[in-house]
A and B are shown apart, each in its own frame.
Chain A
């Protein structure tokens, strides 16, 4: 009886913790949405965050996409060569990049780069009472801190993914044509032959959703930080892990809905 009670207690505590987490996420999402349409509109802060999320992430996303495209071409070339279908390498590379790999990998990289920094930044502001100070100055912390970050991330992720699409296809081309000796004209043709505009768009929609998820997760974790420097560390780690998991889970359902 006793161990069983303990088990249920432990399970109950976990369940409550999970519900709390989900509740906080939607609380932040909801209030960020509401405060987006209230004055004042903080133009400078939006631009600052957009540069940070978008422009500053170009190298990371570019490198990720380049090598993903390269390795994808390498692998599929080897595989497809076994049944003499090398001609389809280009189509596979472009389709898998735009529909799946570029959005997911870019989002995971940005979750590590940006989601974590949102959590660390807001977490530090929380434990040093800077968020309370904003509140005391009659500035709504959600509006000043969360809205520009979530907005910038949601807007910039599609652009980053579009960039990643291009760089990834280029990487595939380099390997297939340069290394494996594919015909450049045929490769280029095959890249676009089966590629629909819808493939690209669905990838970009995914990117926007992922951007929203990783920013809200990072901000939520930071906003509800407690326990000093250690708490900030915990929030930062949790932000990346949670955002990555939610991105991967939602990816499946988004794919199911979008195609």
Chain B
């Protein structure tokens, strides 16, 4: 496995150690080892069914591994105390594929929800924070809309705003621009890049869109057959000789798959 990180000296923000997971006998993750360094934007790429979503959900404990560990800031996610689990999860903000907005609440209430739940901020402070988050994703003035009234791209950006409301240390993006047109997808990428540059966060994104990966990544990791095939900064990643990676970059079928 090739791994070239920008900051090897620091301790990783998230360390994934020998992660195994299978569903109904189908092996999805087969020994994933991965470090996410503080402040970096890591993009995990891979084909459909490579286990990207499953890996991402392990990072925050939405799925429990069959074997292996996920360590966040030195703490194992598989902890016993429910309160401690909640505290670790508060370090995360997660943006879901389709936004996963609460459809019984309007945009304002969606973004205010984690603030009301976890802080003692006054209503004015909450309103200010909601406005701030919305302007970060370029969606000012839609506070009173219901999720059903928004387009797919807008829903995702509201999801971003909700994910950053509590100023998380780690942001996870689940296929942020799957199923969007190229222009909307590029706009989503721009928002992610702005968030990367403006906020002091560590970001992990999964996608199968290489263009988008090159736009937002400090480091790209390739997941294949439930393992990390390689992880490297974009310019290095582009040059990796691995035939699978080259096929993936070129958007061509892999020889062995065709045969």
Contact = CB atoms under 8 A, between A and B. Distances in A.
A138 B102 contact: no
A40 B102 CA distance: 20
B7 to A, nearest CB: 26
Contact of B100 (A40, A130, A138, A139): A130
A138 B89 CA distance: 5
Contacts of A128: 98, 100, 103
Given A138-B118, A139-B117, A133 B82 contact: no
A56 interface: no
B92 A136 contact: yes
Interface string B81-117: 0100011011011101110111100000000011001
Contacts of A136: 60, 62, 89, 92-94, 96, 163, 172
A189 interface: no
Contacts of A124: 103
B94 A40 contact: no
A135 B102 contact: no
24 contacts: A38-B82, A40-B117, A128-B103, A129-B100, A130-B103, A132-B62, A132-B100, A133-B100, A133-B101, A133-B102, A133-B162, A135-B61, A136-B92, A136-B93, A136-B94, A136-B163, A136-B172, A137-B89, A137-B113, A137-B118, A137-B162, A138-B90, A138-B92, A140-B86
Contacts of B103: 124, 128, 130
B90 A133 contact: no
Given A138-B87, A138-B90, A140-B86, A132 B117 contact: no
A137 B117 contact: yes
A33 B178 CA distance: 39
Given A128-B98, A139-B117, A140-B86, 16 more contacts: A38-B82, A40-B117, A124-B103, A125-B102, A128-B100, A128-B103, A129-B97, A130-B102, A133-B101, A136-B96, A136-B163, A136-B172, A137-B114, A137-B118, A138-B118, A140-B82
Interface residues of B, number: 28
Interface string B132-159: 0000000000000000000000000001
Contacts of B94: 132-133, 136
Interface of B: 57, 60-62, 82, 86-87, 89-90, 92-94, 96-98, 100-103, 113-114, 117-118, 159, 162-163, 166, 172
A31 B101 CA distance: 25
Contacts, number: 58
A12 B92 CA distance: 42
- The 9 residue pairs across chains A and B that have the minimum distance between CB atoms: A136-B94, A129-B100, A133-B100, A138-B89, A138-B90, A137-B114, A138-B86, A129-B96, A130-B100
Nearest to A132: B62
Interface of A: 38, 40, 124-125, 128-130, 132-133, 135-140
A124 B82 CA distance: 25
A38 B159 CA distance: 28
Nearest to A125: B102
A40 B94 CA distance: 22
Nearest to A131: B100
A220 to B, nearest CB: 19
A139 B93 CA distance: 12
A138 B162 CA distance: 13
A140 B87 CA distance: 11
A133 B101 CA distance: 8
Nearest to B96: A129
Given A138-B118, A139-B117, A133 B89 contact: no
A140 B102 CA distance: 15
A140 B85 CA distance: 10
Nearest to B85: A138
A139 B113 CA distance: 10
Contacts of B118: 137-138
Contacts of A133: 94, 96, 100-102, 159, 162
Nearest to B91: A138
Contacts of A125: 102
A136 B62 CA distance: 8
A124 B92 CA distance: 24
B252 to A, nearest CB: 32
Given A138-B89, A140-B86, A132 B113 contact: no
A133 B158 CA distance: 13
